[in-house]
Amino acid sequence: MRYLITGGAGFIGSHLADALVARGGEIVILDDLSTGRRENVDHLVAAQQAELVEGSTLDSGQVTKLMSDCDACFHLASPVGVRLVVDRTLESVLQSVRGTEVVLETAALQRKRLLFASTSEIYGKGDGRPLAEGADRVLGSPMVPRWAYSTAKSIGEILACGYARERGAEMVVARLFNVVGPRQRGDWGMVLPNFVRQALAGEDLTVFGDGSQSRCFTHVTDAVDALVGLLDADGAMGYAYNVGHHEPITITALARRVIERAGSPSALRFVPYEEAYGDGFEELGHRRPDCSALRRLTGWVPSRTVDDAIDDAIAYQRSALAQVTR
């Protein structure tokens, strides 16, 4: 199989490329490198196991050409991180909606199977109860950047499921819950890599709000296994599936766990949301996935813990720091 991965030089995309190569696949990566990095896939390109094309999903001609040379597509290209969405709301929404429209329409016309990577942001605010795929979305005002992003991703889901149900396209949606691990960067507000960076530097870890908000963090290796399984599953087409760990952890507890596992002298520093993101920012509370539909379809269950993800993120950043200081 030959796969097109949009956003394949990013954190999740590069791990996906590794997994597909490991099972004998040929990889073409389309990435504008706005948040992805060449070094994430240099090892694959050097071994001639992947081709990296620097370009945009907005370029329909380029997408058409690359799609025609592939058997299937993982559409991961998207703005990432709360900070990016808040700071560049218009750019993020336009990029997400227009790029997704181009990629999905091209895959439908060429009859190529496609997985659209969506987000748990779809659900909006949560109270900690497990969220099944059919759960109601609880969103704030579209004037708030966070909800604009959620709406943009929901349009992608609507397109993917619409093409599948109304035009017979083979498309499936994966709703990813807080994927973490090595290669993830904290530039745009990702909490775990930021905590690890601060802990390794001996700085106080910055916790926004009171730290009682909780998430279910999913190791990137488990997430990639789920993505591959969904694209392979004939019965998945036309539906959305949650991909996430079942065990929630508060952000304060996560910070303390990072300090402990890094052997760091750091303490915690609590920063109000309005100081970090400006007036009008809304926190989500608690968000927990119900992944029983995915389990029934593919047998997938996460096999790695949040401690595994923390340890791998620490090892990755320590290795990167060692290379810089040589």
- Determine, yes or no, domain membership for 259: no
More confident residue, 62 or 141: 62
- Determine, yes or no, domain membership for 38: yes
Identity of the amino acid at 175: R
Query: Is 81's pLDDT higher than 80?
Result: no
For the segment 109-132, what is each residue's pLDDT rounded down to a tens digit?
A: 999 999 999 999 999 887 888 999
Determine phi and psi for 234, rounding to 5 degrees: -60, -35
Lowest mean pLDDT among 69-83, 211-225, 249-263, 291-305: 69-83
For the segment 141-153, what is each residue's pLDDT rounded down to a tens digit?
A: 888 887 888 899 9
Query: Is 292's pLDDT higher than 80?
Result: yes
- Determine, yes or no, domain membership for 74: yes
Identity of the amino acid at 325: T
Identity of the amino acid at 302: P
DSSP string of 255-269, one letter each residue: HHHHHHHHT----EE
Alpha helices in 122-272 (DSSP H): 145-167, 191-200, 220-232, 251-262
- Determine, yes or no, domain membership for 208: no
Query: Is 15's pLDDT higher than 80?
Result: yes
- Determine, yes or no, domain membership for 207: no
Q: Are 224 and 15 in contact (CB under 8 A)?
A: yes
- Determine, yes or no, domain membership for 281: no
Range of the structural domain that residue 136 is part of: 2-178+218-246
Query: Is 278's pLDDT higher than 70?
Result: no
Question: Residue 312: its pLDDT value, please?
Answer: 98
Question: Residue 88: its pLDDT value, please?
Answer: 85
Q: Which residue has the tokens 């915690």?
A: 268
Lowest mean pLDDT among 106-110, 119-123, 208-212, 279-283: 279-283
Residue 149 annotated in active site: yes
Q: How confident is the model at residue 310 (pLDDT cuts 50, 70, 90)?
A: very high
- Determine, yes or no, domain membership for 45: yes
- Determine, yes or no, domain membership for 68: yes
Closest Cα to residue 270, out of 212, 214, 215, 310?
A: 212
| This prediction's pTM | 0.94
CA–CA dist 218, 6 (Å, integer): 21
In angstroms, the first-to-last Cα distance of the chain is 40
DSSP string of 41-64, one letter each residue: THHHHHTTSEEEEE--TT-HHHHH
* CATH number of the domain within which 113 lies: 3.40.50.720
Q: Which 3 state secondary structure label does DSSP give 250?
A: strand
For the segment 171-196, what is each residue's pLDDT rounded down to a tens digit?
A: 999 999 999 999 999 887 799 999 99
Q: How many residues are recorded in the chain?
A: 326
Closest Cα to residue 73, out of 1, 180, 155, 177?
A: 1
**Which residues, other chains included, contact 107 with Cβ-Cβ below 8 Å and sequence gap of 6+?**
67, 73, 75, 113, 114, 163, 169, 171
Question: Residue 77: its pLDDT value, please?
Answer: 96
Q: Which 3 state secondary structure label does DSSP give 244?
A: coil
Would you give the DSSP letter of residue 175?
A: E
Residue 267, token pair as written in the block: 């303490």
The number of domains in the chain is: 1
Looking at 3, 123, 149, 239, which residue is catalytic?
Answer: 149
Phi-psi region of 211 (alpha: psi -120 to 50; beta: other; left: phi over 0): left
Question: Residue 145: its pLDDT value, please?
Answer: 80
